């Protein structure tokens, strides 16, 4: 049983928080309105076809506990769901995690994701006491790559054909930051 909800205030009108089943209709609407846009880089979009699909996903990741391997946060701008940010593969032996994210197309260019990732990294280093955070993106996904680059993550490498989207391989760029080098 998950025992803790999490809310991170990013700005006055921007929060990230663990989602509840009641968020499913709004989240589905966000995905459905942005389906064509999101599909390019997110393979799960094709399998998310009903509100019930979202409800099931939320039930699996609702709340957090000390042994959580993944924390999924909804991004809410002016109380409207506009995307998600996940802290994935939390490894307590290595004190590391990966961050992934997506944002509705019409909310891009407002610094929302950069600010959310910055807040998530602060939470990872402070609240979770992790030491290293990684973000990976397709080499040709320039918008996604811009986020870790703006936050001074180090490009640690490129995995040839490391990602596969809809039957097409893409080079995977891996970025990282460690606590001692973070000035967020």
Q: Is residue 1 very low, low, confident or very high in pLDDT (cuts 50, 70, 90)?
A: very low
Q: Is the pLDDT of residue 65 over 70?
A: no
Instruction: Please give the average per-residue pLDDT across 159-170, as a whole number.
Output: 96
Residue 1 lies in a domain: no
CATH code for the domain of 40: 3.40.630.30
Looking at residue 66, its pLDDT comes to 59
Q: Give the domain range for residue 67.
A: 7-181
Q: Sheet containing 96-103: give its strands across.
A: 7-11, 14-18, 71-77, 80-91, 96-103, 132-138, 168-178, 154-165
Residue 162 lies in a domain: yes
Instruction: Please give the average per-residue pLDDT across 115-125, as a whole number.
Output: 98
3-state secondary structure of 102: strand
Residue 168 lies in a domain: yes
Comparing 71 with 63, the larger pLDDT belongs to 71
Residue 2 lies in a domain: no
Residue 147 lies in a domain: yes
Residue 78 lies in a domain: yes
Query: For the chain, what is the domain count?
Result: 1
Residue 20 lies in a domain: yes
């Amino acid at each position: 049983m998950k025992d803790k909800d999490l809310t991170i205030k990013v700005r006055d009108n921007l929060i990230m928080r663990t989602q509840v089943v009641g968020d499913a209709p709004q989240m589905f609407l966000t995905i459905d309105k942005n389906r064509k846009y999101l599909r390019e880089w997110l393979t799960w979009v094709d399998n998310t076809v009903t509100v019930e699909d979202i409800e099931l996903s939320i039930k699996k990741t609702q709340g957090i506990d000390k042994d959580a391997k993944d924390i999924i946060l909804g991004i809410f701008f002016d109380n409207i769901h506009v995307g998600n940010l996940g802290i994935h593969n939390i490894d307590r032996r290595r004190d590391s995690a990966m961050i992934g994210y997506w944002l509705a197309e019409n909310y891009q260019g407002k610094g929302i994701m950069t600010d959310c990732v910055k807040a998530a990294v602060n939470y990872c280093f402070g609240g979770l006491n992790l030491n290293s955070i990684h973000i990976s993106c397709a080499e040709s996904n320039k918008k996604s790559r811009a986020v870790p680059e703006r936050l001074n993550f180090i490009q640690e490498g490129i995995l040839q054909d490391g990602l596969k989207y809809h039957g097409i391989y893409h080079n995977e760029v891996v970025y990282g930051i460690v606590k001692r080098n973070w000035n967020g």
